[in-house]
Amino acid sequence: MSCLEMESGSLACMLNTEISAVLAVMRRNVRWGSRFTSVDDQQEHTLIQSFKALRKKVFTWHAHWHTINPVMYLQPFLAVIRSEETGAPITSVALSSVLKILTLDLFHIHTVNIQDTMHLIVEAVTTCHFEVTDPASEEVVLMKILQVLLACVRSKASLALSNQHVCNIVETCFRIVQQTASKGELVQRIARHSMHELVRSIFSRLPEANRTYHELTSGGNLINHEIQQVNSDPNLVAPEPGFNDNTTNYSEVFVGCSTSSSIPLVDGMTNGTMDDVLHYDSFLMNQQFGVPCMVEVLRLLCSLLNITEHVDMSRKSNSLAFDEDVPLFALGLINSAIELGGPSFHRHPRLLNLIQDDLFCNLMQFGLSMSPLILSVVCSIVLNLYQHLRVMLKLQLETFFSSVILRLAQSSYGASYQQQEVAMEALVDFCRQKTFIMEMYANFDCNLTSRNIFEELVNVLSKSAFPVNSTLSTMHILALEGLIAVIQGMAGRTKEERVRLGNTPTTLEVYKPYWLFKCDSYEEPSHWVPFLRQMKYIKQRLMTGADHFNLGPKKGLEFLQGTHLLPEKLDAQSVACFLRYTGGLDKNLVGDFLGDHEEFCVQVLNEFAQTFDFKGMSLDNALRIFLETFRLPGESQKIQRVLEAFSARYYEQSPHIFANKDAALVLSYSLILLNTDRHNAQVKKKMTEEDFIRNNRRINDGNDLPRELLSELYNSICEHEIRITPEQGSGSCEMRQSHWMDLMQKTRNTSPYIVAVDKPYLDDDMFALIAGPTVAAISVVFDHAEDEDVYQLCIDGFLAAAKIAAHFHLDSVLDDIVISLCKFTTLLNPSYFEEFLLAYSNDTRARMATMTVFTVSNKYGDYIRTGWQNILTCILRFYEFGFLSAFSVCDTADEPGFSAILGMAGHVKPLLNSLPLPHIQSSVAPKKPSGLMGRFSQLLSFEIEEPSAQPSEEEVFAQQRIEETIQKCQINNIFIESKFLQADALMHLVCAIVAAEQIQMEASYSENEVNAAFCLELLIAITLNNRDRISLLWQSVYEHISNIVQSTTVPCALVEKAVFGLLRICQRLIPYKEDLIDELLKSLQLVLKLDARVADAYCEQITQEVGQLVKTNANRIRSQMGWRVILSLLAITARHPEASEAGFEALSFIMSEGAHLLPSNFVLCVDGATQFAGSRVGEVERSVHALDLMSGSLSCLVRWERESKELVNADEVAMVSKDIGEMWLRLAQGLRKLCLDDREVVRNHALFSLQKCLSGVQEIYLSHLWLQCFDVVIFPLLDDFVEIAQGKSSKAYRNLEAMLLVAIKLLSKVFLLSLNEVMQLPTFNNLWMAVLSQMETYMKVKIRGKKSEKLRELVPELLKNSLLIMKTGGMLIPGSGSGGDSLWELTWSHVNKIAPSLQAEVFPNADLDRGQHNQGKKEAIQASAVSIPSKTVALEG
């Protein structure tokens, strides 16, 4: 319950208690006690009377206390506080009573007469007088004063205070702080703490302060005036000049660094009198507590920093040249004010102006302090300013970073280790801000006139992280943290999509004045992002041009013309702007160029001077700024030209100082001479002020310049030398007044500060600049580190860099990261297993690097290129030592039976959970043997292998740790997920595997061959996992397998993997890639090229794989080429003992019932069946089965002929018929070969099959092939039979006579069958003669020296049958033709040799009319068709 809610009686009692307390203390004093004993009450002191009167009234107030005027009950207490007669104890009790009333909130802002009340309290306490009796009581009073004043500001009624009263409160507190400097440590700390709390309380009101324009402006410097009177105030007891006896008198500080000028307080008052301004200033200070008092407080705090400090940056000086207590105290107060005021400062121009000018100027000076503590507080203030006001402090921040932080963070500038550490800590803190890095790059690195803060910052961090010839220190780790903070900030933004905004080209096609380029909008990224990219490009080209210029001005200008940064025809303005705004130029060359006497150089000099803004500057400061940009030439004529250009520009902007530009020229020259005189050690007699004034008489158009002006210039030159030879590059570290004035003028024209959003608009450009140094620095620290926390820090850096590189497709950067990590794994170093096992398991860095490299490869494999080679080397090393298995690695992830390369957590079943313990002692872990013989030899070795020594506990633990590491690496995901890799990355992975395999193949050790086989399995696994992109990989995979197959002459694991891997690829991919079926099947020709020994070793397995391929994909194979390869592979197995069975099974699958016979494979199948039928490997039944397959294929030809008739196009029908005929002829040829087999069963079945083939073609159109059939099938077969019968080989044949009988019958049957088609051919006579010749031969043939009676009987009968049919058909007519070449004559000339009596039997009436024969032609032909089957039956019998 608050005091306002209490009963009035309770409050009265509380006041009565305080009254009693004060009176009790007063009675203890002799002075006051004697008066209380007097009978005459009139002699009582007015102070006692007031308390007695208050006691009488306090219990009579029954109204609400907020309606009671607080002055009524506060007046007695305040009177005691103001009284000079009261001692310290009495004043202390009175202050305590007032403090109690304030802290209990006895009144608030709505209480009656609250403003007068608060004013009375402040005035009484700030003018407190008391008699000092002892030091202790004095300290108590001072502490009570601080508490009461602080309570006034914190109370609910504080809004009733005026600005003036708040200033008085601050003034009083500050004076107390000064007084306590010589007192006890506790009192000092309490006083300073109270001051801090007071400042916090004041500036905590800033966000809620009245925002009227009157409060945004403030008047004079009231507090400083009061502070200057501190030491002369007789009412204060023993005022001290500082915090201790050795401190500077801070009551007399002045604003020395500030260049801010007085701004108008309100609109319309710029033309008013000074009295008007002061009157309004007084008016503001008497208004309600708000911004004006905060301006005065901040001004006071800034003024406390305006002391002259000698900053010695040399390494030899470690002592402070000033006392740091006061600056630390002031900086702490300023930091508190900024922390609480926050972004509200920017709404108040006067406050903002103080921060931009006075405060930051002092921060620059104290930033170079040798005190690490001061530097730390300064950096904290700047960090707060960056957080809240960076938009308003663009150039100030640039200057602070370039001149303070980046300089001190480097040991090369002579900073102490403590300074470096503080600066580095501050730099790291800035880097941890979310958008700091991007804003530095956008606002400074992409600004033509600014330093490359971002690049310099990262260079400082990366260089500082390098432990050059030393162990890793705290500084190295700190720099690394900053570097990683930079890239982690970028990595955090990679979740956003990568976008390039705008269409502004980065290159310049034509010349444009680049210094006039403007951005359309600094708020829209679509505008400022492309603009900044263009500016960065121009800046980079300008820096390159500066390098050329430093080699020779002419070369530099020509280069810039070539890049369109200067016009083809040079003009003075463009060259002047290049010299003015381009960093990195040699200032000696610039000075010589500007001072040259050539007309163009003079024009450039004048344009160069026009780029400066000297408004409001003194002549010496303007000259300093001008000469900072180049080195003043040494020749007097050049100096004359340079000063003429300068003085003309200065006079143009400050015409009120000089009568003409000549006066400015003379005085400028005089300043140069004075500067040389005062600061040249060789000049012994120095120029005095009077000499300087006398030398410059009557130079202002015959009149003297004001003596005050000349004196001021003289003193300025004496105190601060004009640097005639400015520092190259970034300039001096000292922040001189001229520098600051130039900076403040630039702030009026600088481009707006770009506030970056958390999106990767410029991160790709930024990371491209820093990737190399960053990765190198992280690698070096990782290499030198010994602590696991540092390891993890480096790993975080590697992962962040990899994430960024992948996001922006920076392949080379990602490769560098992978290569670095692989080096740290130690897996690239050759070693024996025993060495590796213990060393690797105990090497935390190596294991962390291993997990990281595989994390990178799994996450960002799309953008790895050459790095795959190192990754494959690591994988091979694990495989070599037996920690990985290649079992089933060629199975794709979506196929049954898929297994991982290694054990993994999750859904993948581990293949090799642990290394067999007996293998630990071997130098290289053995691999699973490949091939049948290999497995057999392994079984044999098990019987004779001696047991190995059991491993130690240390080795077992090491093995388990390595297995856990490998499990976390998830190596098999690389190959499982390879189907998601981008094409380029996938090709590099394939090339890396091929290269690794070739390296292993070149070695002669057996383990290298096994490693090569493992690489091949990985390659096949990737191929199968990327079946949708097989066209991309196929050429490389095929060429590699081809090299292996053709270069191997003996069976080995590698060629085995190659052959069966190729077969597996075909088997798995044919169902999915119909467009590549021919290409895949063509690749199987490599199997046909195997060395005989290799082919023989794997023939059975190859045949089984081919058979499986045929069974699963027969319906998909359509091309003749594909079938040729398949059937060639099957055919070569016909004579192989182990493989023939599987080969014939596959062939039977194709040919049985014509299920998979096609026009494209018919001939190939027939040839294959021919080889199997003629092979003596296997049983005779298989040959007979092959013959059945061949004869059964005739039905396919008949079906195809029937289907062809349904075609519409006659040409197509003819073409199909022709093809079918050729296939039939090929079938007949194959059967004809088999008819010569010496196995009687096979031979007879072949003859039967041939007869079936030749006689079952009634539906096939073969007129164009019958003659060819006789020439290549029938006649050669008959000739072969005769040769066999008469030759020595006849002994191998049984039942030759029956064979001959069947052959001659076949001849007669086929002739009669084809007679109707061949009789129309012009070569029919020749055919008929050949038939007769064969019959004549068989009539005379001898079997084993004896003529066959059966043949002699059969041949005339067959001949007679043929003659009768020809006679009936009208083909054989007596007397036909003329001469001896007629068919009639030729026929009988041969027939008579065979059977002379046949003519009479066939033609009993030789003169029969030919017409009769012609009429019966049709019936004869039909009769012949009926008679043929009977002959067929006879032949079959």
Active site residue 635: yes
Q: Are 80 and 91 in contact (CB under 8 A)?
A: yes
What's the DSSP call for residue 726?
Answer: P
Q: Provide the 10 A C-beta neighbour count for residue 277.
A: 18
Tokens of 315: 């390494």
CA 1024, 1028, 1030, 1032 dihedral sign is negative
Q: How many CB atoms lie within 10 A of CB 1075?
A: 8
Tell me how far apart the alpha carbons of residues 1385 and 1379 are, in angstroms, rounded to a whole number.
8
CA gap 1287, 1377 in Å, rounded:
41
Angle CA(745)–CA(746)–CA(747) in degrees, nearest 5? 90
| Identity of the amino acid at 1265 | L
**b/e 888-916 (16+ beta carbons within 10 angstroms → b):** bbbbbbeeeebbbbbbbeeebebbbeebe
DSSP state of 1346: E
Contact residues for 52 (Cβ-Cβ < 8 A; gap 6+): 44
* Per-residue tokens: 1168: 């294959």
Question: How many CB atoms neighbour CB 1415 within 10 A?
Answer: 11
Which token pair is 1406?
């030789």
> How far is Cα 179 from Cα 191, in angstroms, rounded to an integer?
9
Residue of 1230, 1144, 1236, 1237 lying closest to 1194 (CA atoms): 1230
Q: Which residues have a Cβ under 8 Å from the Cβ of 565 and sit 6 or more positions away?
A: 508, 511, 514, 538, 541, 542, 545, 578
| Interatomic CA distance for residues 323 and 305, integer angstroms | 12
Of 252, 523, 635, 1259, which one is the catalytic site residue?
635
Residue 803: count of CB within 10 angstroms of its CB: 21
User: How far is it, in rounded angstroms, from Cα 1127 to Cα 844?
Assistant: 58
Give how far the C-alpha of residue 509 lies from the chain's centroid of Cα atoms, to the nearest Å: 31
Query: In the structure encoding, which two tokens stand for residue 840, read together?
Result: 């690797």
CA distance 1334 to 1348: 15
Do β-strands 1342-1343 and 1346-1347 pair in parallel, antiparallel, or remain unpaired? antiparallel
**Do 1309 and 1432 form a contact (C-beta atoms < 8 A)?**
yes
Please give the Cα distance from 633 to 716 (Å, whole number): 23
The full DSSP string for 119-160 is HHHHHHHHT---B---HHHHHHHHHHHHHHHHHHHHSTTGGG
Chain Cα centroid distance, residue 922: 42
In single-letter form, the type of residue at position 134 comes to D
Tokens coding 1059: 């052959």
1081 neighbors 1066 (Cβ within 8 angstroms): yes
CA 1136 to CA 753: how far, in whole Å?
A: 85
Q: Residue for token digits 């500084």? A: 475
Chain-centroid distance of CA 198 in Å reads 50
The two three-digit tokens of residue 347, written as one number? 């709404």
- Pairwise CA distance, residues 316 & 565, whole Å: 47
734 Cβ neighbours under 8 A, 6+ residues apart:
311, 368
CA dist., res. 225 & res. 1092, Å (int): 112
Instruction: Quickly list DSSP for 510-523.
Output: S---GGG---S-SS
Residues known to be catalytic = 635
